[in-house]
Amino acid sequence: MGTSLIGQSQPPRTVSSDSESDDPLGSLLFATDLIPLAQDVTKFAGVDYATSQAGVLEVTLNGTTVKIKHDGGAAGCGGKVWPAGELLSRYLIGARDNERYIAHDAVWKESAKRKVKIIELGSGTGLVGLALGNAYTLAASARAVEDIGMEIVITDQANMLSLMADNIELNNLQGTVSADVLDWGTDLPEHYSNPYPDVILAADCVYFEPSFPLLEKTLLSLTGPNTLVLMSYKKRRKADNRFFQSIKKSFRIEEVKDYNEYKDFSRDTVFLYRLIPKTPVN
């Protein structure tokens, strides 16, 4: 989740989809009740994250095992695992052996020839980046060339940094995955866009309306003409459409339906999109 809310201790409350804010960043930092509703959460590996306690979960996604430490919501909704993250993780792993998938060439084929730069936005626990990192490590266990492979950076707000770092260590991915603070809407350090990332990943980042322009600004700042942007999304409120309507000025949006298990997710209103930058970019 991209906008982890500090100090979340109350049960989620319904918020009007027509709410507006004159200060989106201020609303984002101080709101404590705008998190996905409990009834919107599907079970992940048999665990209901709407009510689960903190702990470590070991799950297998398309043949790849991932260890995920979650805090039960102590640091906000980012400390839980959400259904869109499961979809994007499974899709990326499945792309390894399926040339039809968009991610096959950009992620797997290219990483066999050079270092592929991958940035995940709103990582929360880091599930997506960790799943991809574990899948790559498993597939390339015999590699001996340092300048090929994947450089995966999982990012979120500062209060999620320690949880992401713990999960990197749990999965022994220190050489492949790193964690960093990336606040949406702020000016980014040059190394993020020079060079541009090859792949941008975002799972369940569209749920808090005041953050929409901040996420859009960050996507525009990070996306180069050849960047593959994959966004998985759980539909919750009508207001979410405002984000997608806004980014249509800069991106073409294509639903990615070629994943074998996609119907199971879309039936639960969990979708996968590719954002294709229009020219000129930036």
- 14 to 101, 181, 271: CA distances (angstroms): 37, 29, 22
Q: Considering the chain, what percentage of its residues have pLDDT values greater than 70?
A: 74
Q: Please state, in angstroms and rounded to a whole number, the distance separating the CA atoms of residues 247 and 216.
A: 7
pLDDT digits (tens, 9 = 90+) for 96-141: 999 999 999 999 999 999 999 999 999 999 999 999 999 999 887 6
Cα distances from 166 to residues 34, 69, 91, 113, in angstroms, run 26, 7, 24, 30
Q: What's the CA gap between 162 and 185, in Å, rounded?
A: 22
Instruction: Locate 219 and state its tokens.
Output: 């996507």
Torsion 132-134-137-141 (CA) sign: negative
CA angle (176 as vertex; 63, 49 as ends), nearest 5: 55
CATH superfamily of this structure's domain 24-277: Vaccinia Virus protein VP39 (3.40.50.150)
Amino acid at 79: G
Calpha distance 63→177 (Å, rounded): 19
- Domain ranges across the chain: 24-277
Instruction: Give the pLDDT confidence of 225-247 residue by residue, as tens digits.
Output: 999 999 999 988 888 889 999 99
Grade residue 73 by pLDDT with cuts at 50, 70 and 90: low
Q: DSSP string spanning 54-117? A: SEEEEEEETTEEEEEEE-TTTT-GGGS--HHHHHHHHHHHHGGG-TTSHHIIIIIIHHTTSEEE
Site of tokens 């109350």: 10
**pTM of this prediction exceeds 0.85:** no
What is the distance between the alpha carbons of residues 77 and 4, in angstroms, rounded to a whole number?
A: 6
**Environment class of 49 (CB within 10 Å of its CB; exposed 0-12, middle 13-18, buried 19+):** buried
The more confidently predicted of residues 212 and 22 is: 212
Among residues 6, 20, 49, which one has the least CA distance to residue 208? 20
pLDDT band per the 50, 70, 90 thresholds, residue 161: very high
Which pLDDT belongs to residue 141?
63
